[in-house]
Structure 1
């Protein structure tokens, strides 16, 4: 007995000296945007489920700890999902055993009634510590989650980009305050460190983005880190994950979303690892952390491609197939035919004067010509896909215009219209969705701003009243078009996608669609 007691004391002393080590495996997806089904070369959620189950089994066999996380934006992008408010996506994530999801900005594409329903469908928590009901300190989602493993405590802090207050639909975000992620994390991280104890760790599940690397595949080299740190300095209220890492110590790793960045090796900023798994269910980020005495001693990382060649999980596949059948009938009905390819490569409507931008604004001008519309304003970020040559279906149009926006007629003062053009005519790297796609206007974009602005070939009178059509998102101040809120507004109730559908039916078959530039840019 005495010998056993001495051995136990020796073992306890050894633990005190060297501490325990734990192996934590984290799988992350983000910005799936309705891409639950296979498409192109990618296998969708059924293939993701296969990978998740394999890695979970590997972790269990080795006695490792395991987490599966989603960094936000489950909504908006695929009609079969959009029509059902992402119910199939959420149920599939439930079946896969998702531990938590951060609230993304696109979770505000619908009213609160939809978001609350989505939270009720999910067996996992929706996290965000920096979104509170307006005028209160009550968070909309769960601020954090504590996972208690036998050998490790992990605190998961949820954070959402503050830019949601102006890139989210103003009608749906007006009831909330979006606080600075950095300031909120500075409050929560020390508290969470105490909760997990000296041997535990704090990680962040964020929808903030990596500035400078939107829609890119990038390795976290020292040069890339330096660039990101300059673009996203510390204590930036509207900052991304790099600002967070520079501003707050004590976060072991940030599992990020929002910028659709495929990170091939982690960014190491202020001792915090930052990873992100691209978008649209193309990748899974796998980060293995070896934790000793509350610190990451070492790590391994892999960005896994979700190939269509991966054998799909049958249960997930059956669930999603059933939901796909529900919406496929109406969606796949032909509405027209085009010999013209209305391209939108690399989100060109956010940057350039495009043929598809012309098509959409032409449709609005055609539909509302009897209301005396003199100009049409549309934000490039609202145009999400191309219309390829060939048969056009309702699903095609909904993929291009997935937000359910309605057309609003403005009676707007010339001075406010000029402000809108001055704002939307130029390219904003951090507000790329704001760039105008328009009808009825011509202008020149210069390094000094927008010049030579003409409406129907004539200068705009700052004191005159003009009739302008836009979408309800912009009319309510979305993408920082706050000047449009000054106008007298009439919401037609017509959904923009349905207006474009009707126009395509009217002009089909589309044999040609000549392109005449509506604005030029001097660089």
Structure 2
């Protein structure tokens, strides 16, 4: 009798273990809750994070340097664009000269990479993060002089004054290009410090595809900015025109 019961139970066991399918018949959308000042803060959580916040605020608000003039972002040859590239070129050369015994020729960054402008006055660690909140890395590319013509055309066509250093040119006139004060040699090779975003075609800077070699400096642009701010109690800002419009 027990054996017969066991055999008869087998089909029911399979049915019980069979995968069941479900179908959504109704969706109830909860009411949206705005996150605003009407929501009361949790006092216990506030008390817990307060010491960490105060310590962080103290670090971020530490004054690192001083700007003697306003640093607006907009326009061609803006003081912020010039300073940004001059600063990165200088800091990159500390690393590059130790490795290779020679300097980098140029710096090219992008207008959109500068995330805010600054007025005359003190600049803090927080300001360095505000200027460059991204974790972009510094890279050096080597390119033939002849392959810089697409770069000049790109900068000429742009609606923005992208930061450049070590070079001057008149828009759409490749022959006017001067690198460190000398006319470009189409057969020579030049080194350019930029960031990984642009190196990989960001902002449509595809001319970097012609690079003969690429070298990672293994440092974030933001850390270079912080280093520069820390080493210079007053910033040196060169307002000379690079794009000769």
What is the TM-score with the length of structure 2 in the denominator? 0.72
Q: Which structure 1 segments of 5+ residues have no match?
A: 1-146, 151-283, 285-305
C-alpha distance in structure 2 between counterparts of 1:366 and 1:424, whole Å: 22
1:250-261 → structure 2 map (5 Å cutoff): none
**Post-superposition offset of 1:453:** 1.7
**Post-superposition offset of 1:513:** 3.2
Q: Which structure 2 segments of 5+ residues have no match?
A: 1-25
1:509 to 229, 234, 242: 234
Provide closer, same or farther for how the CA distance between residues 461 and 330 of structure 1 changes in structure 2, counting only shifts above 3 A. same
User: Which residue number corresponds to residue 144 of structure 1?
Assistant: none
Q: Greater relative contact order (Cα 8 A, min sep 6): structure 1 or 2? A: 2
**Post-superposition offset of 1:463:** 2.8
The alignment of Structure 1 onto Structure 2 pairs a total of residues equal to: 204
Q: Deviations over 1:304-345 (max 9, x none)?
A: xx9xxx84533389979949817434322221223322122x
**More strand per residue:** 1
CA contact (8 A) 1:336 1:508 kept: yes
1:182-221 → structure 2 map (5 Å cutoff): none
C-alpha distance in structure 2 between counterparts of 1:317 and 1:418, whole Å: 61
Larger displacement relative to structure 2 (354-363 or 332-341) = 332-341
User: Which residue number corresponds to residue 23 of structure 2?
Assistant: none
Q: Deviations over 1:415-436 (max 9, x none)?
A: 22221221133224xxx6xx52
Q: Deviations over 1:380-422 (max 9, x none)?
A: 1101101332221111011011111111111112222221221
User: Which residue number corresponds to residue 313 of structure 1?
Assistant: 39
CA contact (8 A) 2:76 2:243 kept: no
User: Which residue number corresponds to residue 471 of structure 1?
Assistant: 195
CA contact (8 A) 1:341 1:388 kept: yes
User: Which residue number corresponds to residue 364 of structure 1?
Assistant: 88
SS at match of 1:489: strand
User: Which residue number corresponds to residue 489 of structure 1?
Assistant: 214
User: Which residue number corresponds to residue 379 of structure 1?
Assistant: 110
Provide closer, same or farther for how the CA distance between residues 450 and 318 of structure 1 changes in structure 2, counting only shifts above 3 A. farther
1:388 equivalent in alignment to 2:130: no
1:408 to 139, 142, 145: 139
1:437 to 152, 163, 173: 163
RMSD across aligned C-alpha pairs, in angstroms? 3.0
Provide closer, same or farther for how the CA distance between residues 318 and 458 of structure 1 changes in structure 2, counting only shifts above 3 A. farther
| Larger of the two Rg values belongs to structure | 2
C-alpha distance in structure 1 between counterparts of 2:238 and 2:207, whole Å: 32
Provide closer, same or farther for how the CA distance between residues 467 and 317 of structure 1 changes in structure 2, counting only shifts above 3 A. farther
CA contact (8 A) 2:77 2:239 kept: no
User: Which residue number corresponds to residue 123 of structure 1?
Assistant: none
1:418 to 140, 149, 154: 149
User: Which residue number corresponds to residue 338 of structure 1?
Assistant: 67
1:460 equivalent in alignment to 2:184: yes
Provide closer, same or farther for how the CA distance between residues 319 and 402 of structure 1 changes in structure 2, counting only shifts above 3 A. farther
SS at match of 2:207: helix
C-alpha distance in structure 2 between counterparts of 1:410 and 1:490, whole Å: 6
User: Which residue number corresponds to residue 278 of structure 1?
Assistant: none
Larger displacement relative to structure 2 (398-407 or 314-323) = 314-323
SS at match of 2:71: coil
SS at match of 2:163: strand
SS at match of 1:517: coil
User: Which residue number corresponds to residue 138 of structure 1?
Assistant: none
SS at match of 1:519: coil
CA contact (8 A) 1:336 1:393 kept: yes
CA contact (8 A) 2:141 2:192 kept: yes
User: Which residue number corresponds to residue 227 of structure 1?
Assistant: none
CA contact (8 A) 1:406 1:493 kept: yes
1:79-158 → structure 2 map (5 Å cutoff): 148-149=27-28
Provide closer, same or farther for how the CA distance between residues 317 and 373 of structure 1 changes in structure 2, counting only shifts above 3 A. farther
